[in-house]
Amino acid sequence: MSSTAIQELVNQPYKHGFVTDIESDTAAKGLNEDTIRFISAKKNEPEWLLEFRLKAYRHWLTMTPPAWSNVKYPEIDFQNISYYSAPKSKKKLASMDEVDPELLKTFEKLGVPMNERAALAGVAVDVIFDSVSVATTYKQKLADVGIIFCSISEAVREHPELVRKYMGSVIPVGDNFYAALNSAVFTDGSFCYIPKGVKCPMELSTYFRINTQDSGQFERTLIVAEDGAQVSYLEGCTAPKFDTNQLHAAVVELVAMDNADIKYSTVQNWYAGDEKGVGGIYNFVTKRGLCKGVNSRISWTQVETGSAITWKYPSCVLRGDNSVGEFYSVALTNHYQQADTGTKMIHIGKNTRSTIVSKGISAGHSNNSYRGLVRIAPTATGARNYSQCDSMLIGDQCGANTFPYIEVRNPSGKVEHEATTSKIGEDQLFYFQSRGIGAEEAVSMIINGFCKDVFQQLPMEFAVEATKLLGLKLEGSVG
């Protein structure tokens, strides 16, 4: 009865599972140095970038996939993946009007504002379809204040000195297995540069879409905020339903100089596989922000609802004195989804502060783990961290784990960790029902209450989307 209501609620069908019928230019499966040269040549890249890729590839060959995380999956055959797929277009597009109507329809279906609606919403959007950035809106208005917001391919062509300076500066090519793979084969992504003293006048947003069945998506995002700059960046992800698994291995690097402020929000809704655990995206992502300057701040907020496997630890390296790192996360897993996600807060500068708020919700047969590292280096005098990791279980077939790692090497460091586990049970739902509130609304209210601390951090439109995504209704729970 009531448990069925919970099941129905968390089992809402995946709405973004359609495939767009569009011709694409896809590379043959397999990975070797020739594949990398092919990608680099396709994109007309300078020699230094090809070298960057090859160096990463050679390093990758010496590495093995990480085995420490709490996820299980069959060995990935990296030779059975296509590393480049792009929607075919005859010529370079001059404006949004020339974008393939099939593509526009796709994003229309996804609710991505790409044209006038973007203007109304006041959001600048860069759209990545399979491997290629297909459209960036609002560019001129941003350029007027000196902000560069474009695809990473375009940035390589137009601003090579910036890309060369910062790419790989936060996540070196050999950082980990999947970051090395990304560095070798990344195809596109977003680049954003906020010059000194500029406060970005609108939210910047990237939508990622995987469309082709056997292609991997390896995008790369680089955001640099100069002294005193401020930016809020949103990322959304969807994919069609396939009964095979697609690999997504992204790298996101953020650099914040003195007094700069970067807020990075993600609503991840990749296809999660069906109720038997068939299909879905393998999401192996490396995200790291460097608080390079004094008083800088980097804030990660993520709502992870999709993917068959989520392996993701958005981190902050707090090098500048008084810099601040934040991580707010909601991870929802259902059916046979597996999530091993969390953060790393590396305190190097003096009086650095970090906050971690993680909310894991597990339903069905899923497994949801928080894994987090707080490291206070010997130099980080006066550093402080506060971590709160809460888990909620729906039903009794799912699992939740918390793996906190704490390393304090400076006696003045102060680290606090709190963790709770709760369960939506029959009695809780009955209590709501006996007050006239139906089970569905009850679950919404409980989950919304549970996630409140994280949703508050999201920009307004994303908060709405995230709330909807979790099957929540705001009515009655705000105020």
Partner 1 sequence: MINSNARTLLDIRGLTATVAGVTILKGIDLTVRAGEVHAIMGPNGSGKSTLAKVLAGHPAYEVTGGTVLLEGKDLFALAAEDRARAGLFLGFQYPVEIPGVSNSSFLRLSYNTVQTGRGRDELDPLEFDDYVREKMKLLEMSPEFLDRSVNDGFSGGEKKRNEILQMAILEPRVSILDETDSGLDIDALRIVAGGVNKLLSADNACVLVTHYQRLLNYITPDYVHVMESGRIIKTGDKALALELESRGYDWLLDGGTSASAKAAA
Cβ 470 to partner 1 shortest distance, Å: 13
Cβ 425 to partner 1 shortest distance, Å: 8
C-alpha Rg value of the chain to the nearest Å = 22
Which residue in the set 19, 66, 438, 456 belongs to the binding site for partner 1 (CB under 8 A)? 438
Whichever of 91 and 435 has its CB closer to partner 1, that residue is 435
Whichever of 234 and 454 has its CB closer to partner 1, that residue is 454
Cβ 438 to partner 1 shortest distance, Å: 5
Interface with partner 1, residue 435, by CB under 8 A? yes
How far apart are the C-alpha atoms of 189 and 300, rounded to whole Å? 18
How far apart are the C-alpha atoms of 234 and 232, rounded to whole Å? 7
Cβ 453 to partner 1 shortest distance, Å: 8
Could you tell me the two tokens for 7? Answer: 């099941």
Whichever of 6 and 124 has its CB closer to partner 1, that residue is 6
Interface with partner 1, residue 360, by CB under 8 A? no
Report in angstroms the alpha-carbon separations of 476 from 335, 435, 472: 29, 14, 11
Contact flags string 409-428 toward partner 1, x per CB under 8 A:
-------------x---xxx
Whichever of 19 and 419 has its CB closer to partner 1, that residue is 419
Whichever of 181 and 363 has its CB closer to partner 1, that residue is 363
List all residues 6 or more positions away from 426 whose beta carbon is below 8 Å from its beta carbon.
Answer: 2, 3
Interface with partner 1, residue 388, by CB under 8 A? no
Torsion angle of alpha carbons 331, 332, 338, 342, nearest 10°? Answer: 10
Binding residues among 217-256 for partner 1 as defined by CB under 8 A: none
Interface with partner 1, residue 441, by CB under 8 A? yes
Interface with partner 1, residue 115, by CB under 8 A? no
Torsion angle of alpha carbons 318, 321, 323, 325, nearest 10°? Answer: 30
Whichever of 63 and 445 has its CB closer to partner 1, that residue is 445
Cβ 112 to partner 1 shortest distance, Å: 31
Interface with partner 1, residue 122, by CB under 8 A? no
Question: Cβ–Cβ contacts within 10 Å for residue 50, how many?
Answer: 17
Cβ 450 to partner 1 shortest distance, Å: 5
How far apart are the C-alpha atoms of 123 and 117, rounded to whole Å? 9
Could you tell me the two tokens for 396? Answer: 């009794």
Quick one: angle between helices 177-185 and 47-61, nearest 10?
150
Whichever of 156 and 429 has its CB closer to partner 1, that residue is 429
Whichever of 158 and 426 has its CB closer to partner 1, that residue is 426
Contact 214, 80 (CB under 8 A): yes
Interface with partner 1, residue 396, by CB under 8 A? no
Quick one: residue 250, left, alpha or beta (phi over 0 = left, psi -120 to 50 = alpha)? Answer: beta
Instruction: Tell me the sheet residues that pair with 193.
Output: 148, 224
Torsion angle of alpha carbons 255, 231, 104, 10, nearest 10°? Answer: 90
Whichever of 231 and 429 has its CB closer to partner 1, that residue is 429
Which residue in the set 166, 313, 450, 462 belongs to the binding site for partner 1 (CB under 8 A)? 450
Interface with partner 1, residue 479, by CB under 8 A? yes
How far apart are the C-alpha atoms of 106 and 113, rounded to whole Å? 11
Which residue in the set 2, 35, 299, 369 belongs to the binding site for partner 1 (CB under 8 A)? 2
How far apart are the C-alpha atoms of 61 and 45, rounded to whole Å? 23
Which residue in the set 181, 239, 446, 469 belongs to the binding site for partner 1 (CB under 8 A)? 446
Cα 166 to the chain's mean position, in Å? Answer: 20
Contact 437, 405 (CB under 8 A): no
Whichever of 51 and 426 has its CB closer to partner 1, that residue is 426
- DSSP E strands, 143-219: 148-151, 190-194, 203-209
Which of these segments, 83-91, 291-299, 379-387, 431-439, binds partner 1 (CB under 8 A)?
A: 431-439
Which residue in the set 109, 452, 456, 468 belongs to the binding site for partner 1 (CB under 8 A)? 452
Cβ 431 to partner 1 shortest distance, Å: 5
Quick one: angle between helices 439-455 and 460-469, nearest 10?
140
Question: Cβ–Cβ contacts within 10 Å for residue 268, how many?
Answer: 24
Cβ 439 to partner 1 shortest distance, Å: 8
Which residue in the set 77, 431, 456, 468 belongs to the binding site for partner 1 (CB under 8 A)? 431
Whichever of 410 and 477 has its CB closer to partner 1, that residue is 477
Interface with partner 1, residue 449, by CB under 8 A? yes
Q: Which residues bind partner 1 (CB under 8 A)?
A: 1-2, 422, 426-428, 430-439, 441, 445-446, 448-450, 452, 475-479
